[in-house]
Amino acid sequence: MRIALVLTGIALSLAAPFFVYPVLLMTILCFVIFAASFNLLLGYAGLLCFGQAMFLGLSAYMTGLMLKTTGMSIELAILASALISAALGAFVGFVAVRRSGIQFAMITFAFAQFVYFLLLQSEFTGGEDGMQGIPRSNLFGIFDISDSMTFYYFVLAATLLVILLVYRIVHSPFGEILQAIRDNEVRVESLGFRPERFKILAMTISAGLAGLAGGLKATVFGFATLTDVSWTVSGEVILMTLLGGLGTLSGPMVGAGIIIVMNDELAQFGEWALIAQGIILILVILFMRRGVVGEAGALIRRIRSRKAN
């Protein structure tokens, strides 16, 4: 059953660009990675990072800078930028794990605004105008991927790798400890582990993955803007994860898909995209905290148990 679902998903995503506008699909994929990075923190480690956009945005600008000023091949530029974001994540983690729960959220929020401000002031980012004309250099230095169709498969491959990686992390001993910290931090500490170290490592990995999403996003659109660092994007990823299903592997994918398509549909109606996001988030928190995937799973289980009886 599960394998069949996964295979159908892969087959659909391979065929999708022939039916749907590839740039929209690539946006969804970037946000699938971004939401997966956020879910790793909140869903598995119980850490609410209210500034995840800083990792996305910083890496987007870094990728743009490298591609514009050097002849680096595209995958190296994106990986290097993801590492820079990971380093930022390690530092933010180092400071923020000193407080837990809601204060952790507020500190990461303040950090993200600080990064926003620095990028706004820096000259290389182009300030309010953003960074334009980011080229797509050849993959591995040889393959031409300037065409959106070809580039889609590169982004898809990266997304599948990330999903696989997150799956491995969640099911590794490290992932088990993260979930144990989420459920009972004191007990984990009494077992001889140091929760802070695991939290900082989780922040680092999550920031690196968010950075990967940012680098890909910058090359998909060919520009990077301050929106990528703004708190609306930090909020968007929270919404995607909660709507899809917190702490489930497929939830953030579903959530990212729904929200990106909704944004796309509402883009012509001014503020209504953000208003709709707010209303959906309120409804999800009030009535559907398990998210789409979680509720669907609960429904299936209920039907099965009824049949068994």
Residue 127 within binding range of another protein, rule CB under 8 A: no
Amino acid at 229: V
Q: Which residues, 6+ apart, have CB-to-CB distance to 140 below 8 Å?
A: 73, 75
- What's the min distance (Å) between Cβ of 70 and another protein? 29
Closest to another protein by CB, 48 vs 216, is: 48
Among 80, 90, 100, 139, binds another protein (CB under 8 A): 100
Q: What does the block give as tokens for 289?
A: 């905290």
Q: Which residues, 6+ apart, have CB-to-CB distance to 264 below 8 Å?
A: 24, 27
Closest to another protein by CB, 12 vs 102, is: 102
Q: What does the block give as tokens for 174?
A: 């490290």
Rounded Cα gap, residues 227 and 118, in angstroms: 14
Q: What does the block give as tokens for 282?
A: 């309120």
Q: Which residues, 6+ apart, have CB-to-CB distance to 291 below 8 Å?
A: 241, 242, 243, 244, 245, 246, 248, 251, 254, 255, 284
- What's the min distance (Å) between Cβ of 48 and another protein? 5
Draw the binding track, 198-237, toward another protein (x: CB under 8 A; -: no contact): ---------------------------------xx--x--
Residue 271 within binding range of another protein, rule CB under 8 A: yes
Closest to another protein by CB, 123 vs 271, is: 271
- What's the min distance (Å) between Cβ of 43 and another protein? 12
Residue 270 within binding range of another protein, rule CB under 8 A: yes
Question: Taking CB under 8 A as the criterion, which residues in 38-57 touch another protein?
Answer: 48, 50
Rounded Cα gap, residues 246 and 278, in angstroms: 18
Question: Taking CB under 8 A as the criterion, which residues in 79-98 touch another protein?
Answer: 95-96, 98
Residue 194 within binding range of another protein, rule CB under 8 A: no
Find tokens 């500490």 and name the residue.
189
Find tokens 């000023």 and name the residue.
69
Asked if 50 contacts 120 with a C-beta cutoff of 8 angstroms, the reply is: no
Residue 187 within binding range of another protein, rule CB under 8 A: no
- What's the min distance (Å) between Cβ of 106 and another protein? 5
Asked if 211 contacts 86 with a C-beta cutoff of 8 angstroms, the reply is: yes
Binding site for another protein (CB under 8 A): 48, 50, 95-96, 98-103, 105-107, 109-110, 113-114, 117, 231-232, 235, 238-239, 242, 270-272, 274-275, 277-279, 281-282, 285-286, 289
